[in-house]
Amino acid sequence: MKKNNRDESITVKSELYVKVEDNNFLLNFLPVFSVLFGLLLSGLMMLLLGHNPLIVYSNMLNYAFRDIYNIADIFAKATPLILTGLAFGFAFRASLFNIGAQGQFYIGAVLAVGFALKLSSFPMVLVLFICFTMSLVGGSLWAAFIGYVKARFNANEFLVSMMLTYVAIAVMNFLLGGLLKETKGEYPQTDVIPESGWLPSLIPHTRLHWGFVLALLVALIAYLILWKTSLGYKIRMVGFNRDAARYAGINVEKIFVIVFFISGAFAGIAGFTEVNGMQHMLIEHFNPLIGAEGIGIAILGGAHPLGIVLSAFLFGALKVGGNLVVQTSRIPASIIGITEGLVILSVIFSYFIRDKLIILRSKKKLVSKERKRL
Amino acid sequence: MKDNSDFITLKNITKYFPGTIANDHINFTLGRGEVLALFGENGAGKTTLMSILYGLYQPDEGEIFIEGKRVKIRSPHDAMKYGVGMIHQHFTLVPVHTVVENIILGTESAYLSNINIKKRVKKIKEIGKKYGLEVDPFAFVGQLPVGMQQRVEIIKALYRNAQILIMDEPTSVLTSQETEKLFHFIHDFKAKGHSVIFISHKLNEVMEIADRINVLRDGKIVGDVSRNEATESQLTKMMIGRDLMIPERNSTIFTNHKEMLKIENLTIVGDRKSKAVDDLSFNIKEGEIFGIAGVSGNGQEELAQAICGLRKVKSGHIILSDKEITNKNALSIIQQGVGYIPADRHKEGLVLDMSIEENLFLKNHSDSSFINYGFLNQNKIQQKAKTLMKNFEIKATSPTSKAMTLSGGNQQKVAVAREVNIGSKVLVAVQPTRGLDLGAIDYVHKTLLKEKKEGKAILLISTEFSEIMGLSDRIGVIYRGKLLKIISREDAKVDEIGLLMAGITEGQANEKK
């Protein structure tokens, strides 16, 4: 019997356990390459539509960075995306899927607009504080329910969070048709909220408001929770290895609820920044893609707060530049959505390729090691 | 009996999984009309090998010959073409479909035209009559008892004209009567000139049913013996493997020591709703190593999990130095000083994506001395990691490198270091040296002996026979959730324990003679 091969005959069989000590330049910059690849693909789509993608993209860049107003708008557009991106990314760190940020966002928005309308006589600081708190708590509780049914009944959080979005839309539409309906009573929308409920602008004569700073702060808080607190340590442990977490005495079910509570808070705050900072009212079919885009942004940003912030900037720029290109040329508006989609798809695909590469490499290494031994 | 020409030949079959070799240049042959048992521990590579033969995996090296012709088996469909059928440990049936629907699933080429169910049912009934496998073709599979479901699986393979049946641990879900019926079928099937590959880690079944026995260990075939020449102790030895060097130890007198852990009439219901641990009692004193010997799957894991608060106890008591800890939660048991080195360090003992530092801290997540207002005291965590890494000679490039970058031995040292640190009173070690190299094994053994000296009560659960013999002060042999006998080390005989592990008590052994 050979006795020296013991260390190789570990009982693991899962492909998850692959050594990734050798970091490769190419692997690290894969997200950047894949963003470029996504832009290339949508460039091909533009070619099919009879437009020169080089001109389209250069116009997009020019428009996006034309003046301070447009540049500020990039960050204003990025603000809610940072928050919904964090909502998905935070839960993802615990290997949980909160794809219902849209619904939590709506609940936050409804509460923010409701309190801003009713508290018109209060001082601004108080109104903003109450709107902020209510949208946060509303989003949290809405999402905590998902965590609860997951913990209690082992319900599929994917499904529950998605379905709850439809419930939230129905609740919002119901209120817009009644309790919150504008005084004119014409459309399913609210009155404009009094200025005491407006988030002050960050740069004068632009649409950028203090909600942007708030979003950056929330990203920082998300980072601190995940990597500096004992709660975050537990959350990440549950995310990486639920069994080991249970063996370490962690109440995994409780973590589910907490994670959804926090994740929902982030999405709820997005409702506050959009209502009090941007639209100053609530309209039916308001920002219907903000949750879905948040998922894409979280994936693009590797579920890391910093990556999420940067990805949200990219999407903000695509939106601002894209909108103006669409308005000034004959390119269909859907091309922006297609570009966003292709960028996200190529990033997801790049993760797949990266994993395959790593597995292939570790396998090669093992085979050659084994050959040497024989 | 065995035909002169070999029916199936596997040559140099090798299968790598990332980080491990599941099958290492395996050669074996199967004759017509032969029942071949693949015998070995969990994780020895039995199922992987058979999955290769059944086309579920592709071998990285090696060749398969059927009736002397080299073949490529790319999918189960290919395998069935060559007459190979497999009965999986976990059935591959659709519970909401009827028996006949399950059996014909995937064999019909019709898309739009009606399937002539009557004709199919007739064939199923014929098979049933031929082999004594009667079953109601219109019953819903989900409503059938497990033994019947297995029968459906077998008919499914026979319906596809299987001449070789691979059975993966077929008896693990069966009652003893059902097992008897299954063995009856295997005899019939063999008598008709067909072959069976019987995968099992249960010695007595292998001895009963097989014509020839191949023993697998660590992905290699370590023994090929015919039933008539095989003895139980020889097979056990082959399965268990190498002789261990056990470090020198002082014989300790612990009769005066006080009881640290006491298990009283413990009964645990397992995942299969049957009793995994059955009215089991023992105690461990301070400074004592109590070893539990047994073939894996006899309730060892459940027992360890129950002590550590990871599994609910149905009845009985677990008492930790006069304090009842039965059905307490895992965290409170950790905080009362019970360390647990689980069998599967990758799944249960470590978080491979986290750093060594974080892994050493794994069970202190709620320890207030490391936390200020919810924030982790990183300095203190690093300090603790440094000390433990130094004391336990954990070799790593940095405390912040991920646990997955460590070698198997160093990974286990991380788990051992942490549990020794946590377990101030009791240490539960399950298969603590599985898959380690000799140096690391030696280290783990020395550590356990050192902790014994410190006065800890240690429960050592292992299928490594020599490990149990070398380290334990007393040995309990577990079989089907019961401790058949508790023997002190001085009185322990290898033969006796080997037989007990197969469920054969002294009385029965004498009867046989």
CATH number (domain holding residue B501)? 3.40.50.300
In terms of Cα–Cα distance, which of A321, A320, A300 is closest to A37? A300
pLDDT tier for residue B250 given thresholds of 50, 70 and 90: low
Give contacts of A5 with chain B, Cβ < 8 Å.
21, 218
Domain end call among B179, B210, B240: B240
Q: Which amino acid is at A131?
A: C
Tell me, yes or no, whether B356 lies in a domain: yes
pLDDT the model gives residue B243: 56
Nearest residue, CB atoms, B435 vs list A11, A15, A237? A11
B224-242 pLDDT tens trace = 999 888 887 788 778 766 5
Q: Are strands B426-430 and B275-285 parallel, antiparallel or unpaired?
A: unpaired
User: How many folded domains does chain B comprise?
Assistant: 2
| Stretch A253-261: mean pLDDT | 97
Identify the weakest region by mean pLDDT among A210-214, B86-90, B149-153. B86-90
Determine the structural domain holding residue B140 and report its residue range. 6-240
pLDDT tier for residue A149 given thresholds of 50, 70 and 90: very high
Nearest residue, CB atoms, A362 vs list B18, B358, B434? B18
> What residue in A sits closest to B238 (Cα-Cα)?
A1
Are the CB atoms for B374 and A231 separated by under 8 Å? Answer: yes
My answer on whether B213 and B281 are in the same domain is no
Inter-chain contacts counted by CB atoms under 8 A, chains A and B: 151
Residue B245 touches partner A, C-beta closer than 8 Å? no
Nearest residue, CB atoms, A18 vs list B18, B43, B435? B18
Q: Answer whether A249 sits within 8 Å of B333, measured CB to CB.
A: yes
Q: State yes or no: pLDDT of B421 exceeds 90.
A: yes
Are the CB atoms for B278 and B482 separated by under 8 Å? Answer: yes
Q: State yes or no: pLDDT of B41 exceeds 80.
A: no
Q: Answer whether B374 sits within 8 Å of A236, measured CB to CB.
A: no
A38-93 pLDDT tens trace = 999 999 999 998 899 999 999 999 999 999 999 999 999 999 999 999 999 999 99
Q: Answer whether A231 sits within 8 Å of B20, measured CB to CB.
A: no
Tell me, yes or no, whether B341 lies in a domain: yes
Q: How far is B182 from chain A (nearest CA, A)?
A: 31
| B360 contacts: CB under 8 Å, gap ≥ 6 | B384, B385, B388, B389, B414, B417, B418, B421
Q: State yes or no: pLDDT of B129 exceeds 60.
A: yes
Q: Answer whether B17 sits within 8 Å of A9, measured CB to CB.
A: no
Q: Cβ of B151: how many Cβ atoms within 10 Å?
A: 24
Mean model confidence pLDDT for chain B: 87
> What residue in A sits closest to B22 (Cα-Cα)?
A9
My answer on whether B463 and B505 are in the same domain is yes
For B227, how many CA atoms within 13 A lie in the half-sphere containing its CB? 17
Q: Cβ of B115: how many Cβ atoms within 10 Å?
A: 12
Tokens 């909160």 sit at which residue? A98
Tell me, yes or no, whether B246 lies in a domain: no
Give contacts of A1 with chain B, Cβ < 8 Å.
222, 241-242
| Stretch B475-497: mean pLDDT | 88
Tell me, yes or no, whether B287 lies in a domain: yes
A207: helix, strand or coil: coil
Give contacts of B43 with chain A, Cβ < 8 Å.
11
Give contacts of B440 with chain A, Cβ < 8 Å.
7
Domain end call among B193, B211, B240: B240
Give contacts of A230 with chain B, Cβ < 8 Å.
365-366, 370-371, 374-376
Q: Report the distance separating Cα B276 and Cα B312, nearest Å.
A: 12
Q: How far is A363 from chain B (nearest CA, A)?
A: 5
My answer on whether B416 and B495 are in the same domain is yes
| B82 contacts: CB under 8 Å, gap ≥ 6 | B66, B71, B73
Asked if the interface predicted TM-score (ipTM) of this complex is over 0.90, the answer is no
My answer on whether B300 and B219 are in the same domain is no
Total-model pTM: 0.78
My answer on whether B216 and B297 are in the same domain is no
My answer on whether B128 and B90 are in the same domain is yes
pLDDT the model gives residue A314: 93
pLDDT the model gives residue A4: 37
Best to test chain A binding among B12, B14, B20, B384 (most A CBs inside 10 Å): B20
| Stretch B74-102: mean pLDDT | 89
Q: Answer whether B349 sits within 8 Å of A237, measured CB to CB.
A: no
For A295, how many CA atoms within 13 A lie in the half-sphere containing its CB? 16
Tell me, yes or no, whether B245 lies in a domain: no
Tell me, yes or no, whether B42 lies in a domain: yes
Q: Report the distance separating Cα A263 and Cα A294, nearest Å.
A: 12
Q: Report the distance separating Cα B183 and Cα B163, nearest Å.
A: 17
Tell me, yes or no, whether B401 lies in a domain: yes
B184-202 pLDDT tens trace = 999 999 998 999 999 987 7
Q: State yes or no: pLDDT of B321 exceeds 70.
A: yes
pLDDT the model gives residue A23: 52
